[in-house]
Structure 1
């Protein structure tokens, strides 16, 4: 599948001549040539049928929409008509209706390739799933490394070449983590901006739905097509620089920097230095709310009781089936008192108000940190539950503060570490400024380059897919 921009692919499809079917066949070829294991279920015949329907609509003079023929992988947490929903568990869930994001993509002309792997019930950041399988991170040619979770197959499906958009969900970082770990772009939208209907919930307070793509420009194009608020005057009038000159980037004094492995921090700092040389202003600021938000996330008083409550109400028969890496971490959730839960929600609101006040007072456009403090670990190093828990906490530690603080945040590739693994640059901004952050991130990408130009192609991407990616 070629690496043409989404907008150009959709424009070609809308012009006709069977382009949607050719796109679908390219996606199928890439999937069949891959051994990365991105999917729990890939349906080539359904993909062909969807593409043929798009081409037929074009031949009748109809416009199928701005995402016409765009191949999209769907995290196995979303309901997708005609495809079983496992949510990473050991058996299919009861029937679940499609929701906002899948229905919106259908309406705009996108086609679906199948279900990409997720961590069981999205409760994990590493990407490991002993039930249905763990996708292979394409950047390590020798070892099976974690792809990042919980949207574990999302970034892998993009590099496989079978998808141009990957659907994920982000509670504590489950879009940004795999984006960083696999060297693509992923964004957590403002909490509540997009309905989470049609998606198995983890946390009613923190869940968001969103996209991963190869480039910021692709994500920006798709986001604007999907977003009900894209034409809202209040946001489109929001000031954003035309170029990187004048962009004010806050570099917070935080454990998000100090806990990062030195090689990873150096890659992200190097990317920021490039932005500074191009005209951006880097500002060292205090942001103690980031560290406090991380501590509050890990105390387990919001996500765990909300997740357990959902399982007890809706899927009680699945609780005894949970794998130990999920079940044991969930064990204490029933001990959280209602007063502690309510206090945690109140504390989150107060922290969010404080950090938004700070951003306004410091007059910074964005906060910048490493997305992940560690490289994606080899699966062999996670065989002990304690080792898994340590890695899971570390991989969440860079992203969960933005979730707790109601910030929207995007991860884009900053470079490769000493072992050749991708490193993500996380940019965070105020709630509600999603389109502004996408514009700013696009400016950053124009300086740093896209993942192909900055990182190259992963060693495990087959030669046939590699040639198509470079077209």
Structure 2
């Protein structure tokens, strides 16, 4: 089975060969048949109205945009007109205006289907939310496993079939973690490339907004349509690169590799080896900055005080309502000294400059690591706060270094581990190299295959997909 690409679907709607309403009705049927719990609210009637407006525009001979009729789920950290904004909390937040990314998608003809679950205030990597619910990872047919966070419903909404694009936010990895955990593609743009307006903040230093899709091809097309620096929509200009020959991939000596479970390491090593066999140059590189950046992130001297400052200034009444898995971890934030906060920011800049200089001197196009060092855990093992903290730290440890070092980063499916759970290959590129990294990932995808060809179909959804190619590797 091969899904039609976002480009194909939008082109058919734009040129009157298909209708946005038909696309939306299919998404509604898939959502109604799902028990994965991706959404905190799904609004079928609003989606129908948006689709009808797109179709009216196309029927008048006007262009509704390069994402015409493309269904989009939105993380409940984003302000969205007509929807409450809860940010995973126990009660709705005050109204916020829509921001850059939501407005851009509406302008480009996309259809918003609803709001997906998030960890409370996006402060967590596992995906657990006792307040509003935790989506089900579709790869375990028996146990309720974590979907990855904090964009907990994003990847699940893609597999459910109710969205072709999922909006997430990424501070320490909250796009890449759920993408890897559910076997889809997730991209963290360079910090500051896209405005984070209209999104409840966690860290003013590290927050980014971005996308999850099933394939790199889809993500690259959508990114180029949205991104002001990419020149917008130039239909036919976004051709895939011609193979990985000449691509220089750095494999860093780092705990991102050594701390990962052996079965996960084996899957990612096999994927990197396939790229080498296809013509890429794979180089070992010494980058102690990755481990130092991770240690600095977990010291809690940047994210936690910035988060606490926002809550005390904007939402003080919400602080006593925080669930223990957020509130207790936030408890020490008020004790961070100003000197330590400033020192952490300065150290972050030094480490970033060092990594970028080393990658440039070695002519490294991108760095390759496992995205997650562990399989998404069953919720049953997370009942104790100590177990949750250990899992949360582990799931952040593979992604937070890129955030701290101002790298753009993408995860794509590499295979299945011994438990049958998805494993992600993370590629990290230099700041500002977003389009280049997406082009490199687009060259990698034909070698490794898409999620359907590489992984197969999630067991909880096997009866909802036509028989596809056998999972490779």
Aligned partners of 2:456 and 2:468 also within 8 Å: no
Question: Matched residue of 2:340: which SS?
Answer: helix
What's the CA shift string for 1:4-25, capped at 9, x where partnerless? 1000000011122661000000
Q: Which residue of 2 aligns with 1:34?
A: 34
Instruction: Give, in whole Å, the separation in 2 of the partners of 1:29 and 1:338.
Output: 53
Instruction: Give, in whole Å, the separation in 2 of the partners of 1:292 and 1:215.
Output: 32
For the pair 1:380 / 2:380, whether they are aligned, the reply is: yes
Instruction: Give, in whole Å, the separation in 1 of the partners of 2:182 and 2:392.
Output: 16
For the pair 1:274 / 2:274, whether they are aligned, the reply is: yes
- Offset at 1:241? 6.5
- Offset at 1:463? 2.1
Q: Which residue of 1 aligns with 2:398?
A: 398
Aligned partners of 1:34 and 1:462 also within 8 Å: no
Aligned length: 462
Instruction: Give, in whole Å, the separation in 2 of the partners of 1:313 and 1:290.
Output: 33
Aligned partners of 1:19 and 1:55 also within 8 Å: yes
Q: Which residue of 2 aligns with 1:445?
A: 445
**What is the TM-score with the length of structure 1 in the denominator?**
0.96
Aligned partners of 1:3 and 1:468 also within 8 Å: no
Q: Which residue of 2 aligns with 1:456?
A: 456
- Offset at 1:362? 1.2
For the pair 1:264 / 2:284, whether they are aligned, the reply is: no
Question: Matched residue of 2:392: which SS?
Answer: helix
Aligned partners of 1:161 and 1:469 also within 8 Å: no
Report the RMSD for the aligned CA atoms in angstroms. Answer: 1.4
Q: Which residue of 2 aligns with 1:235?
A: none
Aligned partners of 1:18 and 1:55 also within 8 Å: no
Question: Matched residue of 2:466: which SS?
Answer: helix
Aligned partners of 1:216 and 1:412 also within 8 Å: yes
- Offset at 1:460? 0.7
For the pair 1:467 / 2:466, whether they are aligned, the reply is: yes
Question: Per the alignment, do residues 402 and 115 of structure 1 end up closer, same or farther by CA in structure 2, a change over 3 Å counting?
Answer: same
Q: Which residue of 2 aligns with 1:340?
A: 340
What's the CA shift string for 1:142-194, capped at 9, x where partnerless? 00000000000000000000000000000000000000000000010000000
Aligned partners of 1:126 and 1:146 also within 8 Å: yes
Q: Which residue of 2 aligns with 1:103?
A: 103
What's the CA shift string for 1:347-404, capped at 9, x where partnerless? 1011100000010111111100000000000000000000000000000000000000
Aligned partners of 1:3 and 1:469 also within 8 Å: no
What's the CA shift string for 1:388-437, capped at 9, x where partnerless? 00000000000000000000000000000011100000000100000000
- Offset at 1:2? 8.0
Q: Which residue of 2 aligns with 1:78?
A: 78
What's the CA shift string for 1:258-310, capped at 9, x where partnerless? 00000000000000111111111110110000000000000000000000000
Aligned partners of 2:241 and 2:442 also within 8 Å: no
Instruction: Give, in whole Å, the separation in 1 of the partners of 2:423 and 2:392.
Output: 17
What's the CA shift string for 1:96-121, capped at 9, x where partnerless? 00000000000000000000000000
Instruction: Give, in whole Å, the separation in 2 of the partners of 1:376 and 1:353.
Output: 33
Question: Matched residue of 1:467: which SS?
Answer: coil
Question: Matched residue of 2:461: which SS?
Answer: coil
Instruction: Give, in whole Å, the separation in 2 of the partners of 1:242 and 1:215.
Output: 17
Aligned partners of 2:86 and 2:92 also within 8 Å: yes
- Offset at 1:3? 1.9
Q: Which residue of 2 aligns with 1:150?
A: 150
Aligned partners of 1:448 and 1:454 also within 8 Å: yes
Instruction: Give, in whole Å, the separation in 2 of the partners of 1:84 and 1:167.
Output: 17
Q: Which residue of 1 aligns with 2:67?
A: 67
- Offset at 1:45? 0.4
Q: Which residue of 1 aligns with 2:137?
A: 137
Instruction: Structure 2 unaligned segments of length 5 or more: list them.
Output: 233-239
Q: Which residue of 1 aligns with 2:286?
A: 286
Instruction: Give, in whole Å, the separation in 2 of the partners of 1:322 and 1:3.
Output: 41
Question: Matched residue of 1:461: which SS?
Answer: helix
Q: Which residue of 1 aligns with 2:237?
A: none
Q: Which residue of 2 aligns with 1:430?
A: 430
Aligned partners of 1:89 and 1:121 also within 8 Å: yes
Q: Which residue of 2 aligns with 1:202?
A: 202
- Please show how residues 295-306 of structure 1 align to structure 2 within 5 Å: 295-306=295-306
Instruction: Give, in whole Å, the separation in 1 of the partners of 2:202 and 2:385.
Output: 21
What's the CA shift string for 1:57-82, capped at 9, x where partnerless? 11111110000000000000000100
Instruction: Give, in whole Å, the separation in 2 of the partners of 1:152 and 1:178.
Output: 6
- Offset at 1:446? 1.0
Q: Which residue of 1 aligns with 2:216?
A: 216
Question: Matched residue of 2:249: which SS?
Answer: strand
Q: Which residue of 2 aligns with 1:112?
A: 112
